[in-house]
Structure 1
Amino acid sequence: MSDLIQVNNLTKTYGKQRGIRAVTFNIAEGEVFGFLGPNGAGKTTTIRTLMGFLKPTAGQATIGGLDCWSQATQIKRLVGYLPGEFSFDPNLTGAQILSYLGHLRGGVDQNNVRQLIERLDFDPSKRFHTYSRGNKQKIGLVQAFMHKPQLLILDEPTSGLDP
């Protein structure tokens, strides 16, 4: 198997604040990889750098041979991403949010979206502000999977979910 993700001496600093320093790893296609560490260890910073939301101070990261900073738009087509925290207009329903995010992706298979909603036992008819933390997480999981991505990057995917 070839490496789908390559990270070499990735560093992100915030002035005198700690970020990540010289992180190096490779992840092969088909491999499951998890970050473990205490709060503030740099797990989310590494993920946000991989997604092209943060520009690295030094080093390089690629996904599918694409540079995570300069080719971030192309990477987002390959990746299903669940951020650690997210928010939407509190008055939109779950269905409206998923429809909006599907349109941003250029359209998604609505059959797949329905299957994900069913599988997660999620009610998309309620307004975002009425959802529990767990149901907000379910919206995030549906949107991460709905375009059948080649790669999933999930930041704290079980947060707020019951076993």
Structure 2
Amino acid sequence: MLEISLPKKLKKTLEKEASDASINLAAHIVKKLERITSPAEYINKKKLKAGLPILVDFVSKLPGVSIIASEVTRDAYWWIKFDIDSSHPLVWRVIQELSFVFNSIALSDPLPTVFKPSSPPPYLNGGPEEFLSWVVESTYNYIDPTWIKEAIENVLPNPIDDITQWDV
């Protein structure tokens, strides 16, 4: 049995959550950890490093997208940062599709990803044409980027680099 000391505020919060759920504190903590911890057979950083370029290549084929950077972090999360050409005729359609697939493809079982804008302070730099970029990142560690690519490719217009497929 593992014993840990929790900071006072965190312990109080977890105790309240456990009480509201009518379970004991240990069971509540285990339940929370099970939801965010990958099974041991999926803990493979080499797979993440091999899979990220596959997802990056897929995202780079979207209309108006140019990749800035991507990384697998030390703690086995990953992210992709890219620009979407604000003058591209499909800019808002691409943003809408990416928002759907990465943030809410299935409300009952969403992908462990988030798609969001990223910008340095506008008052120090300039407008969105030059300084607004976009990020997709995993929200759980050890999530295989290849699996994410496979999950979204059947939902996005196909083939993704054919702009005629992006018409509503």
Superposition TM-score tier, normalisation by shorter sequence: under 0.3
Q: Which entry has the higher C-alpha Rg, 1 or 2?
A: 2
Determine which structure has the larger strand proportion and give its number: 1
With the length of structure 1 as denominator, give the TM-score of the two structures. 0.24
Determine which structure has the larger helix proportion and give its number: 2
With the length of structure 2 as denominator, give the TM-score of the two structures. 0.24
